[in-house]
Amino acid sequence: MTLLSDAAVLAELEQTPGWTRVSKTLDRTYRFQSFRDAMFFVNGVAALAESAGHHPDIAVHYNVVALSLWTHSAGGLTAKDFALARTIDAVLA
Amino acid sequence: MTLLSDAAVLAELEQTPGWTRVSKTLDRTYRFQSFRDAMFFVNGVAALAESAGHHPDIAVHYNVVALSLWTHSAGGLTAKDFALARTIDAVLA
C-alpha cells in the first residue's frame, strides 16, 4: 500500500465523516448505551478487521470504544485505512 | 469499597501474579497467537466483567491485550480489582 499524501488524506477524510487524523493514525470514538452494546460493536469490528486482513487498535472504556487505524507496513495512512473505516461505519453504525 | 493501603496493595499483588500496579491502576498485558485468540480472551473478560459488575479498560493491539483495573468510586485500587484480576486468570489463562 502507498502512503497517502497530505492532500490525499484530506480528500479521504471528507468522505469518512466522524474520523479524525491524529498524527499518523485515523481515529474515531464511539459511545454506546452500555458495556454490552460496546462489546457487540467491538465484535463486529473484529469480524470486519479479519475479513479485511487489517486490524485497528481497539480501546474499550466501559461504554466508549476508540478505534485507531494505520498501515504499519507503510508507516502511516493508506487507502486501506480509510476503506476499513468506511466499512465499519457502513456495516455497524 | 474501601481504598487499599499501600501495604494491602502489596499483599494483594503477591497473590496476583502477572499483574502490576501502575499508579492508580492494576495492569496486565497478554500476548496471544492471533487476533482471533486475543478477541476470544477479550470476550471472556467481558463476560466476567459483566458478571462481577466491574469493568476493566481493555486495549487490543492485534494479538496483544492490555487490561487495566481500578475502582472509580474509590479513586484507586480496592479488593474488587484484585478479585476480578484473579478471576480472569483463573478462568481464562
What pLDDT is stored for residue A30 in this prediction? 98
- Give residue limits of the domains in chain A: 6-91
Look at the block and give the residue holding cell 487507502: A79
Q: Look at chain A and count its residues.
A: 93
Helix (H) or strand (E) holding A48: helix A35-52
Q: Check: pTM over 0.90? Answer yes or no.
A: yes
SS3 B19: coil
Among candidate residues A80, A78, A28, A25, the one with its CA nearest the CA of residue A49: A80
A32-90 pLDDT tens trace: 999 999 999 999 999 999 999 999 999 999 999 999 999 999 999 999 999 999 999 99
For the domain covering B6-91, report its CATH number: 3.30.1360.20
ipTM: 0.95
Contact B59 A62 (CB under 8 A): no
Contact B55 A39 (CB under 8 A): no
Contact B57 A58 (CB under 8 A): no
Chain B interface disruption, residue of A54, A60, A67, A68, most B CBs within 10 A: A60
